[in-house]
Amino acid sequence: MTATKTRDHGGGLDRAIARFGGTRQGWLDLSTGINPLPYDVPQLGGDIWTALPDSTAAKTLEQAARQFWNIPDDAAVLAAPGASSLIARIPALAAPGSVRIDTPTYNEHAAAFTTNGWQVNAPNPTARVIVHPNNPDGRLWDGAAPAQQQIIDESFCDIAPDQSHIYLASRPGTLILKSFGKFWGLAGLRLGFAIGDPNLIARLSEMLGPWPVSGPALTIGTTALTDTGWAETARTRLTQDAQRLDTLMTKAGATPLSGTPLFRLYETNDAANWQTHLAQHHIWSRIFPYSKTWLRLGLPHPTRWPQIEAALDRATDGTAGGATLLATSASPTTQQ
């Protein structure tokens, strides 16, 4: 049997620990774009861990999602065990053709379409994938020239709800993806949503089968989506912390390029050297196979700022390579 190829992603902290030592508790994982101060999970009682999820809880979650995201009445909603499970299945909704996916972007979209027999960025595309905001550069799509069949991945858009294209969810052939794990910081819960064309949503539901979302995820998701005060507070804090990280990185010799308040993208002279330097201080970062100079960092937990501040101070005081190691190159690399 052929092994599944592992694609480039954030995470992989176990490999970093094996190489640079330390314990998981001592490491600061900034390689992902997950809210470091997650939603406080409510106490779960009753038979939620032992009973099959019921349809009432699923409908309650759907209503909470409709209200939180202002979903059009004529668009359908499907909760799933993570946005990734939806990304893997969506290409099977239509006969293979050509799909437009502007790069660089989240690589699971192209992988899923390729696995299902599609050609990526060949002439005359019949479908399009838009990641909005884009990962890793935070690029926003202006909504112009929507395709006949389009997938709009808004996994990082809850940080900027005014930028959402949720109004397009009522357009035939359109699916909008939402990730619960990133903004609410509960990636391990595995909860995501597909919103859009009722015919497509119905077929996705058939693919997922019964009880696609666990009882705990239904309850926690509903509680979090109705807690709008928490969401507003989180957006304010994340925006301030992103600015703080940009200031620290600029002082250390990097150039902020873009990103979102959940992750920041920097230009360096050598991203691999930056990653090694930070890893020596037990901070894990994200670099990319298509750029030798791009470095992406998530945000630290509010109690962990001293760790990254100390690492960056060492980068500029002449030790561990100092400013020579971490100096910024003249212009960004945009190799795709």
Q: For the ranges 180-184, 216-220, 323-327, which has the lowest average pLDDT?
A: 323-327
* pLDDT for res 5: 53
Tell me what the pLDDT averaged over the chain comes to.
91
Using CA atoms, how far residue 132 sits from 40, 98, 111, in Å, is 27, 21, 18
- 9-37 pLDDT, tens per residue? 666 889 999 999 999 999 999 999 999 99
Domain membership flag for residue 1: no
**Of the candidate ranges 3-17, 154-168, 211-225, the one whose mean pLDDT is the lowest:** 3-17
Asked whether residue 170 falls in the same domain as residue 266, the answer is no
Query: Is the same domain home to 211 and 290?
Result: no
Same domain, 210 and 65: yes
Residue with tokens 């992406």: 296
Domain range for 109 is 55-226
pLDDT value of residue 332? 37
142 inside domain:
yes
pLDDT at 82 over 50: yes
Asked if the structure places residue 255 within a domain, the reply is yes
Q: For 83-87, 126-130, 147-151, 225-229, which range has the lowest pLDDT when averaged over its residues?
A: 147-151
- Provide the b/e sequence for 63-102 (b: ≥16 CB within 10 Å): ebbbebbebbeebbbbbbbbbbbbbbbbbbbbeebbbbbe
Q: Is residue 44 part of a domain?
A: no
Distance in angstroms (rounded) separating the CA atoms of residues 260 and 172? 29
pLDDT of amino acid 262: 98
Is residue 332, in this structure, part of any structural domain at all? no
What pLDDT shows up at residue 10?
64
Provide the CATH number for the domain around residue 301: 3.90.1150.10
Q: Which of 2-6, 36-40, 195-199, 267-271 has the lowest mean pLDDT?
A: 2-6
7 SS3 class: coil
- Picking from 163, 192, 226, the residue at the C-terminal end of a domain is 226
pLDDT in tens, 168-192: 999 999 999 999 999 999 999 999 9
Give the pLDDT score at 185: 97
Q: Is the pLDDT of residue 6 over 50?
A: yes
How sure is the predictor about 319, in pLDDT bands with cuts at 50, 70 and 90?
very low
Based on the fold, state whether residues 83 and 151 are members of the same structural domain. Answer: yes
CA distance 187 to 81: 10
What span, in angstroms and rounded, lies between the C-alpha atoms of 332 and 55?
A: 51
pLDDT at residue 229 is higher than 90: yes
Does the pLDDT value for residue 324 go beyond 60?
Answer: no
Say yes or no: 174 and 261 in one domain. no
Residue 43 lies in a domain: no
**Same domain, yes or no: 129 and 252:** no
Q: CA 220, CA 231: separation in Å to the nearest integer?
A: 14
Give the model's pLDDT for residue 279: 97
| pLDDT surpasses 90 at 2 | no
153 in the same domain as 86: yes
Residue 113 scores a pLDDT above 60 = yes
Q: Which of 178, 201, 226 is the last residue of a domain?
A: 226
Give the pLDDT score at 216: 97
Q: Are residues 203 and 288 in the same domain?
A: no
Give me the pLDDT at residue 187, please.
Answer: 95
The token duo for 298 is 């998530």
How many Å apart are CA 161 and CA 20, to the nearest integer? 39
Number of domain units in the chain: 2
Domain boundary among 191, 226, 261: 226
- pLDDT at residue number 146: 75
Q: Is 237 exposed, middle or buried (0-12, 13-18, 19+ CB in 10 A)?
A: middle
Residue 148: the pLDDT is 83
185 to each of 34, 63, 182, 217, how far by Cα in Å? 5, 21, 5, 13
Q: Which two tokens stand for residue 63?
A: 């209503």
Question: What pLDDT score was predicted for residue 107?
Answer: 93
Identify whether residues 17 and 99 lie together within a single domain. no
Residues 287 and 320 in one domain: yes
- pLDDT grade for 1, boundaries at 50, 70 and 90: very low
The reply to whether 114 falls in a domain is: yes
Residue pLDDT, tens place only, 49-58: 999 999 999 9
Q: Read off the pLDDT of residues 244-302 as tens digits, 9 standing for 90 and up.
A: 999 999 999 999 999 999 999 999 999 999 999 999 999 999 999 999 999 999 999 99
**Mean pLDDT score, 134-140:** 97
| Coil, strand or helix at 21 | coil
Whether residue 334 is contained in a domain is answered as no
Alpha carbon distance 89, 109 (integer Å):
10
Q: Looking at the structure, do residues 198 and 267 belong to the same domain, yes or no? A: no
216 in the same domain as 237: no
